[in-house]
Structures are given as C-alpha cells and as structure tokens.
Amino acid sequence: MEVIIQPTPEEAARLVARIVAHDLRANPHLVLGLATGVTMERVYRHLVRMHQDEKLDFSLCSTFNLDEYVGLFPSDQNSYRHYMDHNLFRHVNVDPRNTHLPNGLAHDLEAECRAYEALIQRFGGIDLQLLGIGKAGHIGFNEPLSALRSRTRVKALTPTTLKQNAALFGGEDHVPRRAITMGVGTILECRRCILLATGDSKAEVVAKAVEGPITSMISATTLQLHPRCSVVVDEEAAANLKEKDYYRWIFENEPEWEGYR
C-alpha cells in the first residue's frame, strides 16, 4: 500500500482523476470500478472537465459501481444510479449500456448479486477500482464483520452509516436499511485500488485503515492485503498517520509518481 498526501481535498481528487485518465488513455477498454459519496464528487468533476477540455474518451470503457441501495428506483434522486448519471455518466461519452450498478429492485436479490459477480467476470474483472471510506471504515457497504472473502451480497447498514447518509435522505428514518455491495473479496480481486479520503472527519479511520491491524471490523484494513493499492488523502485526513515523512518521500522520489508531482 502507498499513501499519497496532497495539500487540499481538491488536489487529492485531481490526482485520483489523473490516475483514472492515465489508465484510461493507456487502455481505452478499461473496466473501471466506481464509488459514490460526497468525496467522489470532486473526482467526477475533474473527469468531466478532462473529457471536455482534453478529450478524455470514455466511449470504449465499462464501469461497475460498488453498491446500490435496496428498494430505490433508479430515478430516485438518492439512488446511486441517479448519482452516477448526475455526476458523471451524462456529462461524458460513456456508452450507457456499459455502465453497471447492482439492481436494488431485483425480485430475487441473491440471484442479482450472483449475476453481478458473473458480469464482472464476463468483462474480465475490474482494472481500476475507486473507493471512498466510511467513518467506521467501510469500503463499498462492507460494514463491520464483513467477511474478508465476501462477494457481492445484500448487507444491512450500521447505525453509523445510516447517520452518515441521513442528511441526504432528510433524516435517518428515510435511509434504506439495506444495500447490495461488492464484497471485500470482490474488491481485493480488482487489479488496482485507489482509496480517496479527505477532511478531518476521516483522519481517525484513515490511520486505522492504513497503519492499524487488519480486522473485519474495519473492512478498509483489508486493502493492506492488496498488491496494488494507493490511498490518496489530503492533509486533514492524513493528520493521524505516523509515517507521514516516509509517505511524502515516496511520492517525491519514486519514479512511478514522477508524472503526478
């Protein structure tokens, strides 16, 4: 795992967007794993700008989102399908037929989860997966005690997550209690993972995820098992990290990051 510290949330998001753009230019058929949430909005703004100003081409890529609420219509403004359309898909030239989210309205949710896994396989697996992190450490909606080998499935949301998302739904009582999410095992199979966390509210959980022991109580800690995972943070989210000088040295000196400095 590598940790990249950027001065501001804007610069952290821009770096993540530049990594996506680099990988997309290198492989126009990229299979891109996407996340939703407030943190990712900035990344999508940068990608839209790159599409408009630099002709970043999404026409051949495919996307798979991490998760979707159970019971929301795609047209519901709190559904993740709506979020993706609104923040990215309708502003770039991705083929809508190549954008995938789990169907939280499926009659048979278990079959839907199995089909989602199979579809990811059919596309050859995910090349680059974007991740946010919840305040209690979830990636996707892999809440505490998510099995380290879990696959796409229905997960009940914890009180912390319900609270975190309450504002968007006009109160905790309106937040769906369950979501379909890729599993920890699904995420660990992606060829590259980029986790973005910004703001002081994420400082504590970032330190646990990066420098703490691996535990199913904090599913983000499992990224320590991933052979190619970068954690991109702003100064505030990096505040509780112990090895900041080391991380900064790597970003400033390792050839892999030369084009991003």
CA-wise closest residue to 83 among 92, 94, 74, 96? 74
Q: Which of 66, 188, 223, 231 binds ligand F6R (CB under 6 A)?
A: 66
145 binds ligand F6R (CB under 6 A): no
208 binds ligand F6R (CB under 6 A): no
* In the complex, least distance from residue 34 CB atom to ligand F6R, rounded to whole angstroms: 8
108 CB-side CA count, 13 A: 6
Q: Which of 33, 102, 104, 132 binds ligand F6R (CB under 6 A)?
A: 132
Bridge partner residues of 31 (DSSP): 62
> Considering CB under 6 A, how many residues would be counted as binding ligand F6R?
13
38 binds ligand F6R (CB under 6 A): yes
Note the helical H segments in the chain: 9-26, 38-54, 80-87, 109-122, 159-169, 184-188, 203-211, 244-253
* In the complex, least distance from residue 127 CB atom to ligand F6R, rounded to whole angstroms: 18
The residue (of 98 and 219) whose beta carbon lies closer to ligand F6R is 219
137 binds ligand F6R (CB under 6 A): no
* In the complex, least distance from residue 246 CB atom to ligand F6R, rounded to whole angstroms: 26
The residue (of 33 and 98) whose beta carbon lies closer to ligand F6R is 33
Distance (Å, whole) CA 3 – CA 261:
14
Distance (Å, whole) CA 80 – CA 66:
10
Q: How deeply is 55 buried, as exposed, middle or buried, from its count of CB atoms within 10 A (0-12, 13-18, 19+)?
A: exposed
Q: Which of 138, 153, 208, 226 binds ligand F6R (CB under 6 A)?
A: 138
* In the complex, least distance from residue 31 CB atom to ligand F6R, rounded to whole angstroms: 17
Q: Checking phi first, is residue 212 left (phi over 0); if not, alpha (psi -120 to 50) or beta? A: beta
The residue (of 34 and 248) whose beta carbon lies closer to ligand F6R is 34
